[in-house]
Amino acid sequence: MSAPAGIPPRPAAAPGGARAPAARPRAPPCRNGPVQSQVHFPSGYSLNPENYSAPSTHYPQVPHEAIPSQLDNQYIADYHSACYSVPAQSVMTHSIGPGMLNTQQLYGGAPHPVESSGGLLQEAVSSASHLHTSVPQSYSAMSSHYISSTSSSVASQGFPLSSGHYAMPSVSSAVYPHLSYPAMSIGSPYRQVLTSQSLPAVGQFKETNAFPGQSTIVPRTLQQQVTLGYNSTSWSTSDFQSAQENLSRNHTGSVAKASNQINTVGIVDSSHPVNQNVQFTKPGVETSVSSVVTSSVRTPAADHLIEPASVPSSTQPPESLLQEAIDSSSTTSSASPVTNNYDALEGGGYPETDSATSSPAPPPQISRNTKPFGYGYPTLQPGYQNATLPTSAMQPSNPGHQSGFQQYPQYPGVNQLSSSLGGLSLQHSQQPESLRPVNLIQERNILPVSPVLAPVPNLNSDLRKLNCNPDSFRCTLTNIPQTQALLNKAKLPLGLLLHPFRDLTQLPVITSSTIVRCRSCRTYINPFVSFIDQRRWKCNLCYRVNDVPEEFMYNPLTRSYGEPHKRPEVQNSTVEFIASSDYMLRPPQPAVYLFVLDVSHNAVEAGYLTIVCQSLLENLDKLPGDSRTRIGFVTFDSTVQFYNLQEGLSQPQMLIVSDIDDIFLPTPDSLLVNLHESKELIKDLLNALPNMFTNTRETHSALGPALQAAFKLMSPTGGRISVFQSQLPSLGAGLLHSREDPNQRSSTKVVQHLGPATDFYKKLALDCSGQQTAVDLFLLSSQYSDLASLACMSKYSAGCIYYYPSFHHSHNPTQAEKLQKDLKRYFTRKIGFEAVMRIRCTKGLSIHTFHGNFFVRSTDLLSLANVNPDAGFAVQMSIEESLTDTSLVCFQTALLYTSSKGERRIRVHTLCLPVVTSLADVYAGADVQAAVCLLANMAVDRSVSSSLSDARDALVNAVVDSLSAYISSASNLQQSTLIAPNSLKLFPLYVLALLKQKAFRTGTSTRLDDRVYAMCQIKSQPLGHLMKMIHPNLYRIDRLTDEGAIHVNDRVVPQPPLQKLSAEKLTREGAFLMDCGSIFYIWIGKNCDNSFIKDVLGYPNYASVPQKLTQLPELDTLSSERARSFISWLRDSRPLSPVLQVIKDESPAKTDFFHHLIEDRTEAAFSYYEFLVHIQQQICK
Amino acid sequence: VLIVPILFIIAFDELKTDYKNPIDQCNTLNPVSYMIKNSSLFTFINNFCYLVLPEYLIHAFFCVMFLCAAEWLTLGLNMPLLAYHIWRYMSRPVMSGPGLYDPTTIMNADILAYCQKEGWCKLAFYLLSFFYYLYGMIYVLVSS
């Protein structure tokens, strides 16, 4: 029944009834089932015969199972041998030089006096960065390996803690072969590496051996930024940033330590903002380093001190790599295609800023032992303070620094306070900045000029330094109230905002045979546990005392024994473990991708197929995965078409199943094929697909049956299903009817149909979730498609949802461009399979509700079939028992997933927050952005389960309640004015913005799908993106200056002040940029300066600017350059590249723009001032 | 006429334990292995779905019996619960099969607490009414 090639692509219809139950074809020869037709390719596609040859490349087959560690090396080598610059592992002094070339590393060890005669050099730190052209996931590997190279001397282990410990080099790496220490967070850990205890004894030893105790290790880590995924050209170059720390120690009796952080910049892709911090640190660092070097190095080690960052990563020291080095370097790829400059921003720089901010702390504080629970850091020698000096010294020299790094604010009040008090509770003698009362009604300019920063928990500086990055883990209250009663009094929501799988630029990856966890609550050991003595630690969540396993006593970082508190697990609040087979129920699954494409008339007309196929073709090699990666395609209209891509076929075969009531798979095994083996067939199919259905007249859409088939196809392995749908499903299971009444769009009354119409998609999602399959939905429709029902398939299977209203490839180029960009990110971003996430918290706290896309499997466990780096989660917490017996609470999320390379990994984040007893402290620690995001999530739930107006009332009440509670608690304030603490001064503004957000607005015409999509986004976006959606940033861009500009990759990025979102700020003479997260609007006033239009937009005058302009031309003028660098800087800070839309004052699109000016009055909603007055009235009631 | 509540209570006790166990199970689920026994929650939900409707039907059946027997007082006592059942079933989440509980929302702390409380209240009610029926039956036997 196969159609001869040459006839129209598909047979008109398949004999649906042909399938006899018994004849369900299970093997290709059995043709009486589904129709098989040869896909006919337009001639152009068949011209490349050579491509039909079997895949020539050999892909090493790697055993499925947990790969034993020995295999690891092999495994990795297979994959990465091509281009990765291996962490050179220096074993002996003399071997170091050349091998290190590409690691761009400042060897931490540099300052160590190394005596070649002694024959031991001890530091092998290296990091590798390998960017792959061939592997989709580029590895930003930073690994530093601490392998003690043994000298000729004793190979003994288990040293006593005393001076003998300097003999440590002899502990060979073999002892702990699997510990890799990649990318330690730069600052703090290393400074504390040494204990002073052994120093005196060793003095002599050191002198002779030139082996500083500390020489034990100084790993530095290279951190690297991988090209942003969007920039494929840069894959092969070494484009990374290396951040290193230098621990230099001078062992002359007095312990003088200098620790420097160094960032050397690689050739960085010009679009990387990453290096902005780098820029400024560089000069200072280099000088300081070199001085250190000169003073302390007495060996050839200097050779590799500073390597030019530009060494191409392809140079590879072939033999100098130890196995472990390979191992570690490959396992440490933390952030794969780091498309996210945003992350790069903080990820790359934070430890540094951190240390910079903390460095001003007075010396006494550093050595003070304020750790709770008796946790004592090793006493820090006086030298420690010296160590921080260079860093702090750098700070003044970089004016751009703070402004560029908004993530790490300096909160002068809190900071100072905590540093002077040791910081567990606020003192009222000095009112912190965050409590300064602000009169909201009088304060005209409530919006700060620079972006709002996350508040820093009021912890002592040691803990603060160790705490989790607020971009990954944020709490709405950085001071946790002691009791539920106090929380109720404060009327603020308590919850966590998580972005657990964020692209990180540096992440310590630990390969250890035992993962140390609490025996009763299974908490992973973290920086906030307390060590009771050498052998025991006390869990910070359940307070159980646990033993420290033998292996944990050894610190591969310092190669010393008996210092469990210096292990990377205890020095970093974000770590990743390579899990053993205990963490698997089955062998790690391969990456499996299935594409389910709508090919009905509607879809073909919209022309999305070309974009999808083209984009997939371009990114086929970058799909994350290993040699086992599998891929498949299913298309559907009123029937379901499968594609046999079995290796060896001359061209793809289409198999049509028209029995949509009882869908079955026409062949069991050749529909999902190995990507590498059948690559040519896949390419042929992708080239042919867009043209295969051009003349289709089929308008029906059998989405439900296609999904059932997809589920059957995926259930043996699990993986990812990407569904592209362009209309309301109209056939078979899961068919939907239009529920929207267009006349009700702008109704201020009841908005109905926010919930699903059928539970078909939910059930399907739960089935998929059970089989570790996630469904991602791309909805590209021009009419109502009942997203509320369709979205269920992604919501409960941990997928993601993209919606392109009125998509058309030529009529709506903005959406087409957006789809293209989103797809690029979608195909290349990191992915984790068969994941589960558990959130643990200190006893007394409990989890109330989860928000996000997942299935909740138990009270603290989320089942995530797939996890992607753009997914955010929110968690509501409640306080069940009062927290009287503790001064700190901790939250820990552990995300267990299978990487695309088939490794089981656990990413652990730990956040530590202080407990407070007074209401004022609770307000002082409120994180208004997190609170608003959590409220938005709660409001979505409320509007689905109850009604939209309920949700809106609840939002307003949240503001009213919290502010009135504050006013009544602060007795000295006048009751009649509307006062808010400084920490909450933006609360009313943000809530007003939420009320005017598409999801919650009333009175303005909003299509139901748009509204539902906005709700889906609120539920699944991480905080940073959500905030831009709620409250866009507005900048004036026609007069950009270099004042306060920051430097990124040799480019100057101007930093215009934020404008408030009000038409009063818009002048006809100006041009404004609004950053709404997923879209940028540039609004041009009527009388806009002609020079701006000419220099930036490239048109002679205002009248000649076209209505639909989506790009800024590259003009060689200063103002154009500034505008473009500013926009690309904003763009780089988020994973989904936003589209740009230029709006003229009179263009119809300007209503979109004006909807975002939330401080203004609209017919249906308050202006900001009116809203404040309204709140005040409510309070006074 | 009055003996059947025993069955009812047993069924409901079963229900109760069925209800309690998986939750505890989930709470204390051996955290060592991260991979959860996938089935526990699902089976729980399914069991529960199958038990809800019978419970309601049996209760409705009893009300009909009381009506036939003209036991007005007993009927009056049971009417509120019947009304509650009807309301509860009308306002259940969108669902194609019979059932009341949505596996995706059951883990929400509020809903969970509500369901648990509901279970205890009903258990108490059934227990009391069981003894009342028993008393009624014996009273009838003795007096006749």
Residue of A nearest to B26 (CA): A858
User: Residue written as tokens 């989506």?
Assistant: A1110
pLDDT score of A975:
61
Lowest mean pLDDT among A217-221, A717-721, A820-824, A1062-1066: A217-221
Chain A closest CA to B51's CA: distance in Å?
Answer: 20
Q: What is the pLDDT of residues A427-463, one digit of tens each?
A: 444 556 777 788 888 777 788 888 888 888 888 888 8
Q: What does the pLDDT average to over A758-769?
A: 89
Q: Which pair of structure tokens corresponds to residue A773?
A: 């399959």
- Contacts with A892 (C-beta within 8 Å, 6 or more apart), sequence order: A523, A524, A526, A541, A839, A840, A841, A908, A909, A910, A911
Q: What does the pLDDT average to over A795-808?
A: 91
Cα separation values, A107 from A260, A289, A293, A353, Å:
11, 10, 10, 21
Higher-confidence position of B64 and A312: B64
pLDDT score of A989:
92
Chain B closest CA to A705's CA: distance in Å?
Answer: 17
For residue A372, the one-letter residue type is P
Contact A1111, A1140 (CB under 8 A): yes
pLDDT band at A614 (very low <50, low <70, confident <90, very high): very high
Lowest mean pLDDT among A74-88, A972-986, B68-82: A74-88
User: Residue written as tokens 């396993």?
Assistant: A549
Higher-confidence position of A945 and A324: A945
Q: What is the pLDDT of residues A241-264, one digit of tens each?
A: 333 333 333 333 333 333 333 333
Q: What is the pLDDT of residues B127-143, one digit of tens each?
A: 788 788 788 778 888 88
Q: What does the pLDDT average to over A813-831?
A: 90
Quick one: three-class SS letters along A893-908? EEEEEEECCCCEEEEE
Which residue in the set B23, B41, B95 is minimally distant from A759, CB to CB? B95
pLDDT band at A647 (very low <50, low <70, confident <90, very high): confident
Lowest mean pLDDT among A83-97, A758-772, A795-809: A83-97
pLDDT score of A971:
63
Partners of A913 in the β-ladder: A889
Which residue in the set B27, B93, B96 is minimally distant from A858, CB to CB? B27
Identify the burial level of A371 via C-beta atoms within 10 angstroms of its C-beta, where 0-12 means exposed, 13-18 middle and 19 or more buried: middle
Q: What does the pLDDT average to over A1103-1121?
A: 82
A705 has pLDDT over 90: yes
Q: Which pair of structure tokens corresponds to residue A557?
A: 């970082």
Residues in chain B: 144
pLDDT > 70 in chain B, percent? 58
Average model confidence (pLDDT) across chain A: 69
Q: What is the pLDDT of residues A187-215, one digit of tens each?
A: 333 333 333 333 333 333 333 333 333 33
Name the most confidently modeled range: A23-32, A73-82, A1084-1093, B33-42: A1084-1093
pLDDT band at A295 (very low <50, low <70, confident <90, very high): very low
B81 has pLDDT over 50: yes
Chain A closest CA to B43's CA: distance in Å?
Answer: 12
Asked whether the beta carbons of residue B34 and residue A896 sit closer than 8 angstroms, the reply is yes
Backbone dihedral region for residue A463 (phi beyond 0: left; psi -120 to 50: alpha; all else: beta): alpha
Which residue in the set A585, A838, A856 is minimally distant from B107, CB to CB? A856
A1168 has pLDDT over 50: yes
Cα A931 from Cα A488, distance rounded (Å): 15
Q: Which pair of structure tokens corresponds to residue A294?
A: 């000169």
Alpha helix stretches (DSSP H) within A315-382:
323-331, 341-343, 349-358, 363-367
Higher-confidence position of A142 and A909: A909
Q: What is the pLDDT of residues A168-180, one digit of tens each?
A: 333 333 333 333 3
pLDDT score of A624:
93
pLDDT band at B51 (very low <50, low <70, confident <90, very high): low
pLDDT > 90 in chain A, percent? 25
For the whole model, what pTM was predicted? 0.69
pLDDT band at A973 (very low <50, low <70, confident <90, very high): low
Which residue in the set A766, A770, A859 is minimally distant from B107, CB to CB? A859
Identify the H or E element spanning B26: helix B4-28
- 3-class DSSP state of A148: coil
pLDDT score of A599:
93
Contact A271, A231 (CB under 8 A): yes
Can you give the residue range of the structural domain that contains B107? Answer: 3-143
Q: DSSP letter string over B112-142?
A: HHHHHHHHHHHHHHHHHHHHHHHHHHHHHHH
DSSP-assigned letter for residue A1071: E
Asked whether the beta carbons of residue A763 and residue B96 sit closer than 8 angstroms, the reply is yes
A287 has pLDDT over 50: no
Cα A706 from Cα A728, distance rounded (Å): 14
pLDDT score of B27:
35
Q: What does the pLDDT average to over A1128-1157?
A: 82
Contact A490, A962 (CB under 8 A): yes
Please count the residue pairs, one from chain A and one from chain B, whose beta carbons lie less than 8 angstroms apart: 73
pLDDT band at A1099 (very low <50, low <70, confident <90, very high): confident
Lowest mean pLDDT among A367-381, A520-534, A577-591, A969-983: A367-381
pLDDT score of A111:
38
A1018 has pLDDT over 70: yes
pLDDT band at A578 (very low <50, low <70, confident <90, very high): very high
A44 has pLDDT over 50: no
Q: What is the pLDDT of residues A660-686, one digit of tens each?
A: 888 989 887 889 999 999 899 999 999
Contact A1, A656 (CB under 8 A): no
pLDDT band at A775 (very low <50, low <70, confident <90, very high): very high
DSSP-assigned letter for residue B95: -
pLDDT score of A596:
95
For residue A662, the one-letter residue type is D
A37 has pLDDT over 90: no
A555 has pLDDT over 70: yes
pLDDT score of A1142:
87
pLDDT band at A575 (very low <50, low <70, confident <90, very high): very high
Q: Which of A223, A213, A212 is nearest to A186 (CA)?
A: A223
Q: Is A896 on the interface with B (CB under 8 A)?
A: yes
pLDDT score of A794:
93
Quick one: three-class SS letters along A461-480? HHHHHHCCCCCCEEECECCE
pLDDT band at B110 (very low <50, low <70, confident <90, very high): confident
B17 has pLDDT over 60: no
Residue of B nearest to A734 (CA): B96
A410 has pLDDT over 50: no
State the CB neighbour count (10 A cutoff) for residue A123. 32
Chain B residue numbers with beta carbons less than 8 Å from the beta carbon of A764 are: none
- 3-class DSSP state of A1042: coil
Name the most confidently modeled range: A88-92, A194-198, A539-543: A539-543
Higher-confidence position of A483 and B120: A483
pLDDT score of A1067:
83
pLDDT score of A456:
84
Q: Which of B25, B107, B114 to mutate to test the interface with A (most CBs of A within 10 A)?
A: B107
Q: What does the pLDDT average to over B94-98?
A: 70
Q: What does the pLDDT average to over A618-638?
A: 92
pLDDT band at B99 (very low <50, low <70, confident <90, very high): low
Higher-confidence position of A1017 and A1131: A1017
The dihedral formed by the CA atoms of A278, A281, A287 and A293, expressed in degrees to the nearest 10:
-70
Contact A625, A591 (CB under 8 A): yes
Q: Which of A1049, A1051, A1055, A1086 is nearest to A1071 (CA)?
A: A1086
- 3-class DSSP state of A875: strand
Chain A residue numbers with beta carbons less than 8 Å from the beta carbon of B110 are: 848-849
Name the most confidently modeled range: A4-8, A14-18, A739-743: A739-743
A1140 has pLDDT over 80: yes
Contact A89, A204 (CB under 8 A): no
Residue of B nearest to A860 (CA): B27
Interface of A with B in 759-798 (CB under 8 A): 759-760, 762-763, 766, 770, 796
Lowest mean pLDDT among A219-233, A626-640, A898-912: A219-233
pLDDT score of A850:
92
Chain A closest CA to B37's CA: distance in Å?
Answer: 10
pLDDT score of A741:
79
The dihedral formed by the CA atoms of A147, A148, A150 and A155, expressed in degrees to the nearest 10:
-110
Residue of A nearest to B35 (CA): A585
Asked whether the beta carbons of residue A861 and residue B110 sit closer than 8 angstroms, the reply is no
Q: What does the pLDDT average to over A871-900?
A: 91
pLDDT band at A708 (very low <50, low <70, confident <90, very high): very high
A10 has pLDDT over 70: no
pLDDT score of A373:
38
Contact A824, A229 (CB under 8 A): yes
ipTM summary value: 0.77
Name the most confidently modeled range: A519-533, B37-51, B57-71: A519-533
pLDDT score of A875:
94
How many domains are contained in chain B?
A: 1
A605 has pLDDT over 80: yes
